[in-house]
Chain A
């Protein structure tokens, strides 16, 4: 079993839809959870950063962490065509900084 599993998609939704992106993981020691957005041929951009379990909201983005289920989610409300990108989840154990990335989910928001 891979440490981090993420459906590669593509996930195609109409503009305005609520998008749900997910990752599962196997290492119960992970404490830090991140979501990155990566446009084609660009470096990843940090969207959300969460420590331990719970929810975090920032504008149209909500990150959820369920450590008991080893499952994290990113919700995008009122999705826009400009949200079309690859979304990567990443997680790590702690101050060692070494993160494990999911393969990324490609999202297409159609106008």
Chain B
């Protein structure tokens, strides 16, 4: 199957720091990428849908000024958590769509905000 990578895999930062997470589709072009957040023992919650070259569509309750998404190319999307706080600590997972409605997930980034 298609491969999606995420970087970094883990980040620990102080409160107030901004954190950038990269999501790359390695062997296919992804017109659409998705960002999810997963709290312990919870399911994946869609945060936003990102289309290459256009603004991301955010789910209700997700602050677009706090979770900045840039989908600059068909293989790269970035999520920046602006001024992270401890309540932002979570597992952030991206996925990339291949056009036939399949989504392939990255390995996730564990963010811990102290």
Contact = CB atoms under 8 A, between A and B. Distances in A.
Question: Does A associate with B in a complex?
Answer: yes
Interface of A: 8, 32, 34, 36, 41-46, 49, 51, 88, 92, 94-95, 97-99, 101-104
Interface residues of chain B: helix, strand, loop or mixed (majority): strand
A99 B93 contact: no
Interface residues of chain A: helix, strand, loop or mixed (majority): loop
A102 B105 contact: no
Given A43-B108, A46-B103, A92-B101, A98 B49 contact: yes
B34 A97 contact: yes
A98 to B, nearest CB: 6
Given A36-B105, A46-B104, A97 B97 contact: yes
A77 to B, nearest CB: 21
Nearest to A96: B49
Contacts of B93: 43-44
Contacts of B102: 34, 46, 49
A101 B41 CA distance: 13
Contacts of B108: 41-43
Given A43-B106, A99-B46, 11 more contacts: A36-B105, A43-B107, A45-B105, A46-B104, A88-B43, A92-B101, A97-B32, A98-B46, A98-B49, A99-B103, A102-B43
21 contacts: A8-B41, A32-B101, A34-B103, A36-B105, A42-B107, A43-B4, A43-B106, A43-B107, A43-B108, A45-B105, A46-B1, A88-B44, A94-B101, A97-B32, A97-B97, A97-B103, A98-B49, A99-B103, A101-B43, A101-B44, A102-B43
